[in-house]
Chain A
Amino acid sequence: MTDLLTSPLHERHVALGAKLADFGGWHMPIEYPGGGVVAEHTAVRERVGLFDVSHLGKATVTGVGAADFVNSCFTNDLRRISPGQAQYTMCCDERGGVVDDLIQYLRADDDVFLIPNAANTAEVCRRLAAAAPAGLEVLDRHREYAVIAVQGPRSDEVLQALGLPTGHDYMAFVEAQWDGRSVIVCRTGYTGERGYELVPKWQDAPAVWDALVAAMAPWDGLVCGLGARDTLRTEMGYPLHGQDLSLDISPVQARSGWAVGWKKEAFWGREALLAERSAGPARISRGLVVTGRGIPRAHCSVTRDGAVVGEVTSGTFSPTRKQGIALALLHPSVAEGDEVLVDVRGRGVAATVVKPPFVQVQTRQD
Chain B
Amino acid sequence: MSELSYPDDLRYTSDHEWVRLEPEGTVLVGITAYAQNALGDVVYVSLPAVGDTLAAGDSCGEVESTKSVSDIYSPLDGEVSGVNSELDSTPELINSDPYGAGWILQLRPSDPSALDSLLDAAAYRQSLG
Contact = CB atoms under 8 A, between A and B. Distances in A.
Interface of A: 17, 19, 30-31, 33-34, 36-39, 227, 231, 293-295, 297, 316-317, 319, 322, 324, 345, 347
A37 B40 CA distance: 7
Which one of A30, A36, A316 has the highest number of Cβ atoms from chain B below 10 Å of its Cβ? A36
Given A17-B1, A33-B1, A38 B44 contact: no
B69 A30 contact: no
A36 B40 contact: yes
Nearest to B95: A36
Contacts, number: 46
A72 to B, nearest CB: 41
A227 B1 contact: no
B77 interface: no
B120 interface: no
Interface residues of B, number: 15
16 contacts: A30-B67, A36-B95, A37-B40, A37-B41, A37-B65, A38-B92, A39-B41, A227-B40, A293-B88, A295-B43, A297-B69, A316-B66, A317-B66, A319-B43, A319-B66, A347-B46
A316 B92 CA distance: 16
Given A227-B66, A319-B66, A345-B69, A38 B43 contact: yes
Given A37-B41, A294-B44, A231 B1 contact: no
Interface string B72-114: 0000000000000000100010010000000000000000000
B20 to A, nearest CB: 26
Interface in B6-50: 40-41, 43-44, 46
A231 B66 contact: yes
B60 to A, nearest CB: 14
Nearest to B92: A38
Contacts of A17: 1
B83 to A, nearest CB: 14
A295 B1 contact: no
A45 to B, nearest CB: 14
Nearest to A294: B44
Contacts of B62: 345
A31 to B, nearest CB: 6
Contacts of B40: 19, 30-31, 36-37, 227
Nearest to A228: B66
A322 B64 CA distance: 13
Nearest to B62: A345
A34 B1 contact: yes
B108 to A, nearest CB: 26
Nearest to B43: A317
Given A17-B1, A33-B1, A34-B1, A295 B64 contact: yes
Contacts of B95: 36
Which one of B1, B40, B92, B95 has the highest number of Cβ atoms from chain A below 10 Å of its Cβ? B40
